[in-house]
Structure 1
């Protein structure tokens, strides 16, 4: 996950990571943003987009959630986006972050916004499916197992299946092709995500 130089001074993975950690103490929330980063960055490479810009967007999409969890204009993601705007972040980043929250009313027009939304809830489902495994190793999680977890409404109740389906539809990708793509991306970053299993 090396940083790559970009023209905009506000855009660097390390800077985004530092900001995310400064605003977020929860390890599980940090891990979520890293998981979304893995998936979004893989799509950036797939589509030939600016990987650094996409990584920054993913890393910061929930950075204000811990401090301002309420879904309102005085909460997430509005507070975080206002802060990022003051820091000079590009509108493409800000619109994508606003768009990942349905209640914001901001349409997901850009490919980045659609990818962020499509990966957000899905990475949560994948992470939950890994953590209930005895080996806690994402490398051993198969798509068929993920399908079963998806259909089991009692599993990971906080993950909106409707959002997962809508995300794939908006992106124009078949649901399980999308899930397989995101799973592979997270498997490639297993160690960074802390999902490489128990190595003791």
Structure 2
């Protein structure tokens, strides 16, 4: 499988917006946090749809093709092609999850726990960052799960957040909204320096 170092070489080559890089780092750790929780709950690797490393790689690379020259219906798919051109191996389940994160455009519907987590986590990371940015300190350390849940209820806050998709977390990945938010926030807080928050 592609290494993290190889993944970063692709990111450096194709991603010029540092905020997108931070978003990918956030989704990488969110994926790790959710994987750990689901594994604790007894889900098998087959049910999870991959290894922890595969979950993290899908999160890290999912937006590495988010740029002007890639149409939205290819975003999440083109990165796999670029990786193959470099001789990097992206497992099928990782490629599928990356395409599924943008399924409203790619028409690649999420199937596994990994697919659903990346799809919902993609939007949740943005809400968590927005919740930090409106604080005077702009620090993730001061954001609580309740802060995020309160902001989640405010439809006018971070309007681009796909709340209706995130709310399917209990049905799709077996975590309540409260659990999903807590796990995601705590994972992101661990890398707050990398996120500039």
- What is the total number of aligned residue pairs between the two structures? 184
Secondary structure, aligned partner of 1:82: helix
Match of 2:30 in 1: 39
The Cα of 1:69 is off from its aligned counterpart by 5.2
Runs (5+) with no aligned partner, structure 1: 1-7, 196-200
Match of 1:102 in 2: 103
1:24-53 CA-partner distances (Å, limit 9, x unpaired): 111111111111011112223334563322
Match of 1:183 in 2: 185
- Write out aligned runs for 1:45-124 (5 A): 45-48=36-39, 50-68=51-69, 70-72=71-73, 75-86=74-85, 87-103=88-104, 104-124=106-126
Match of 1:3 in 2: none
Q: Sort the Cα spacing of 1:101 and 1:92 in 2 relative to 1 into closer, same or farther, 3 A.
A: same
Question: When the two structures are superposed, what TM-score results if normalisation uses the length of structure 2?
Answer: 0.84
Q: Sort the Cα spacing of 1:154 and 1:170 in 2 relative to 1 into closer, same or farther, 3 A.
A: same
RMSD over aligned CA atoms reads 1.9
Question: When the two structures are superposed, what TM-score results if normalisation uses the length of structure 1?
Answer: 0.83
1:82-109 CA-partner distances (Å, limit 9, x unpaired): 3345543110111101111122222322
Secondary structure, aligned partner of 1:156: coil
Point out which structure has higher relative CO (alpha carbons under 8 A, 6+ apart). 2
Runs (5+) with no aligned partner, structure 2: 40-44, 46-50
Q: Sort the Cα spacing of 1:174 and 1:61 in 2 relative to 1 into closer, same or farther, 3 A.
A: same
Q: Sort the Cα spacing of 1:68 and 1:173 in 2 relative to 1 into closer, same or farther, 3 A.
A: farther
